[in-house]
Structure 1
Amino acid sequence: MKAPVTRRIVLGYMGAAAGAAAIGSGFSRRASAASNVTFLGWQGYEDVYRIGDFLKDNDATLDATYINTTEDIITKLRAGGVGSIDLATLNQMYVAIGQAAGLLEPIDLAKVPNSKDLLPNFQNDDFVIDGKTYALPFTFSSCALLYNPEMVSSAPTSWEDFLKPEYKGKVALFSDAMTNVLVWARVATGTDTPTRMTKKQLDETIALLIKIKKDHARAMPASLGDGSDMLARGEVAMIMGWEPMVVWCAEKGTKVEIAKPKEGTWGFLDTINIAKDAPNYDLDLAFVNQCVSAEAQAKFGNDNLLGVVNKDAVPQLKKEVQALYDFSDLDAYFANAHLYPMFPLESDGKYVTYDEMLEGYERFLKA
């Protein structure tokens, strides 16, 4: 089970034992680490820095520590990473949390000239807090409704198509709490902002998930690769998936298409950040600049089949990657792939908290 981002972790109300244990988590300040940049994020994301002679030209080396969930970044920065970590890749939902918890340094955009080449959809102040920028977009994708056109009577138009009798035992859910809740809350309750749900709405969402699990779903694949295999083998007609799975299935000889459900879906937007008290702040700015450069973005997008944020990278993408994301109309893409704020971390008496959402999801898992 993923480690939850609780109010105690985010705001620093951690026991001395937890803090002491974390000191041994692999982070330590080096006496002579002026050119050694430490990266904390998803495996593969750091490859944008291994392009060409970037590291050599900047007289830098790179150490990468990989995460299993975005929450790992918050937890590890709180637990000894501040002052020893340079760069992180927070999902957009967590940027405000990281800033409020004192875990991020502002980014000096004057020293990140490639930020001027971001696509129009990312030329905004979404990550500006008190006049300072704490993140730049890195890459995007979404929980896509994928389907095998040979196994459906018509293209799905709603997530509710999962509940049709003809698809009983031929659909699959996601393996992640946040994804399942944020997608199905819109179906169960009609809410526009699933991270602002009442207790009643959360209960309705969990009840629907339990119904799908018991009466309709074939499985909840443990990984995206497993889900892709199920699609490729014809075990499911529809699945809560991810855009790159379209290409993975094609490589196995199965055509899979992306539906646009009327309820929309949850969009994933990962960012690049500089950690608080980063040991190489000026050099880190060069790394941020590299991350959003056209060259790095194009290679990253092609290698990982993911969305890019630099406008000059788009023409350099393979056709199969461009086909996954509607770069000609990203407004339409993000009208379907919704970006949400984080759940409240403490109760306001109206909306459920992040921990309460996880408690509700535990009921679903045990059902």
Structure 2
Amino acid sequence: MSDRFNTTRRIFLAASAAASMLAFTATGQAFAEDKGTVITSVFGGDYGDILRATVDEAIMEPEGYDVIQDISSTEARQTKLRTEKMRARSSFDVAVLADLSMYQMAKLGVLSEVTEENVPRVSAVIPALRKSHSVPQIYSYFAILYNPDKVTTPPTSYADLWNPEYKGKVGVSDNLHVATSAVAALVGGGSMTDFTPGQAKLLELRDKQDVQILPSNEAVAAAFESGDIWITINYVARAYSWRQSGLNIERAVASEGAIPIAFEMAVPKNAPNKDGGFAYLNAALEPEAQIGFAAKMGYLPTVTDAELPAELEAAIGLPPEEQDRLIRLDDDYLMQHETEILDFWNREFKG
């Protein structure tokens, strides 16, 4: 009896030791405790692929989370946030939206408050991009893009688009009517809370500069390639992508200041795994995740401690002094006047 007990005990101890050995990765780190599933409602394509590689697999899974991507459109995501507001549980733990769309959801009261307690990495976020209802995951900024072979004196101001030398060679994207209207407002003496002075500048761009209003950002790139336009205003991430595909294009940060666009992450108040959602937001702000998006898509890190390689910094970077001068669109103003801005763009500027 005693020998058989000792043999059984030795087998049990050996099995326990083997199990302990299996609880370590190749680097000698123990597997993390299972912390449940985190469902993220995100964009697909390259965005989703990069997010999966740099956040889901590189950070969250080693910490013990199983991440499931719920690929959907902006409209579908907003609809879910609205319709699931009164439910006990949301269908996802993390939502990704552009900044203005996220602000609209915050005004509905469906998003959890973000603090340094539940998302410690918030302390590293660029001050001009911080918000209490979300974290900025990636951002780019509106700048002057131009063909250096045609525009030989680098632009310094948004007002350079109204330079008579470029008549007939200025193009703008129809998709960027809000940001373009904001630029016109700055040139016309308005502000981020008053676009009205920019209306006259838009009409001047149309009537005196023969501006080309192109249906999409892809059409802007095609017009650059063909030589139909020489200068535009657009996000630097676009310029990075176009340059990667062989387009001869440079950027200039306007003296008036850069206008940022951020894609943000938030946790619904009724998220089924709220702790996991906050952990995901924190992981997305880690330097390695931020640099991964910069290298692949040309979007800048939203944190101050993610150091880009020198070549990438030269291509898309915004110096700290320019980060301090970022001109944020006013979310409240846009919510109140969005229809009016679009109506003027379609009926007066395009019409």
Query: What's the TM-score once normalised by structure 1's chain length?
Result: 0.73
SS at match of 1:220: strand
Task: Return the match for 1:242 from 235, 246, 254.
Answer: 235
SS at match of 1:60: strand
SS in 2 for 1:103: coil
Secondary structure of 1:185's counterpart equals helix
- 2: CA distance, partners of 1:287 / 1:266: 27
Could you tell me how far apart the structure 1 residues matched to 2:236 and 2:320 are?
15
Q: Residues 73, 187 of structure 1: CA spacing in aligned structure 2 closer, same or farther, 3 A cutoff?
A: farther
Describe the superposition over 1:175-217 as per-residue Cα deviations: whole angstroms up to 9, x where unpaired.
22211211111112x12x32x22xxx52x42333233234424
Q: CA deviation at 1:361?
A: 2.4
Specify whether residues 66 and 260 from structure 1 end up closer, same or farther in structure 2 by C-alpha distance, changes over 3 A only: same
Residue 61 of structure 1 and its aligned partner are, at CA, apart by: 3.2
Aligned counterpart for 2:337 among listed residues 323, 340, 353 = 353
Question: What amino acid maps onto 2:312 in structure 1?
Answer: V
The alignment partner of 2:275 has SS state of helix
Matched residue SS, 2:300? coil
> In the alignment, residue 168 of structure 1 is paired with which amino acid?
K
Residue 110 of structure 1 and its aligned partner are, at CA, apart by 2.7
Are the structure 2 counterparts of residues 45 and 247 from structure 1 closer, same or farther at C-alpha, using a change threshold of 3 Å? closer
- Mark the CA change 1:324 to 1:53 in structure 2 (over 3 Å): closer, same or farther: closer
Aligned letter for 1:178? V
Q: How many angstroms apart in 2 are the aligned matches of 1:270 and 1:354?
A: 19
The match for 1:258 is: 251
Counterpart AA for 1:158: S
Offset at 1:265?
4.3
Partners of 2:143 and 2:235 within 8 A in 1: yes
Which of these two proteins has the greater Rg computed from alpha carbons?
2
Range with greater deviation from structure 2 (94-103 or 173-182)? 94-103
Q: CA deviation at 1:53?
A: 4.7
What is the aligned partner in structure 2 of residue 287 from structure 1?
280
C-alpha root-mean-square deviation of aligned residues, in Å? 3.0
User: Residue 222 of structure 2: SS of its match in structure 1?
Assistant: helix
The question of 1:220 aligning with 2:223 is answered no
Tell me the amino acid that sits aligned with residue 69 of structure 2.
D
Equivalence for 1:363: 347
SS of 1:360's equivalent? helix
> Does the residue aligned with 1:232 lie in a helix, a strand or coil?
helix
Q: Does 1:148 align with 2:147?
A: yes
Match of 2:322 in 1: 332
The one-character-per-residue Cα deviations of 1:24-51 (angstroms, maximum 9, x if unpaired) are xxxxxxxxxx625131457544433433
* Unmatched 5+ stretches in structure 1: 1-33, 129-133, 347-351
Percent of aligned positions that are identical: 22
The aligned counterpart of 1:135 is: 134
1:156 aligned counterpart, secondary structure: coil
Say if 1:50 and 1:271 are closer, same or farther in 2 by CA, change over 3 A.
Answer: same
- Higher helix fraction: Structure 1 or Structure 2? 2
Q: In structure 2, what residue type is equivalent to 1:356?
A: E
Of 21, 34, 37, which aligns to 1:35? Answer: 37
Structure 2 counterpart of 1:187, one-letter code: V
For 1:282 and 1:312, how far apart are their aligned partners in 2? 24
Unaligned runs of 5+ in 2: 1-35
Structure 2 CA distance for partners of 1:251 and 1:309, relative to 1, 3 Å = closer
Offset at residue 91 of structure 1 (A): 3.6
**1:298 & 1:125 partners in 2: Cα distance?**
17
What is aligned with 1:22?
none
Give the residue type in structure 1 aligned to 2:73: I
Checking the alignment, whether the CA contact within 8 Å between 1:246 and 1:255 is kept in structure 2 is no
The 8 Å contact of residues 232 and 249 in structure 1, kept in 2 or not, is answered as no
Partners of 1:171 and 1:180 lie apart in 2 by 12
Corresponding residue for residue 14 of structure 2: none
Report the Cα offset of residue 304 of structure 1. Answer: 0.9
Amino acid at match of 1:353: H
Q: Report matched runs for 1:43-192 at 5 Å.
A: 44-46=46-48, 47-51=50-54, 52-57=57-62, 58-67=64-73, 73-80=77-84, 83-93=90-100, 95-107=102-114, 109-116=116-123, 118-119=124-125, 121-122=126-127, 126-128=130-132, 134-175=133-174, 176-188=176-188, 190-191=189-190
Q: Indicate conservation of the 8 Å contact 2:38/2:92, yes or no.
A: no
Query: For 2:154 and 2:59, how far apart are their aligned partners in 1?
Result: 45
Per the normalisation by structure 2, the TM-score is 0.75
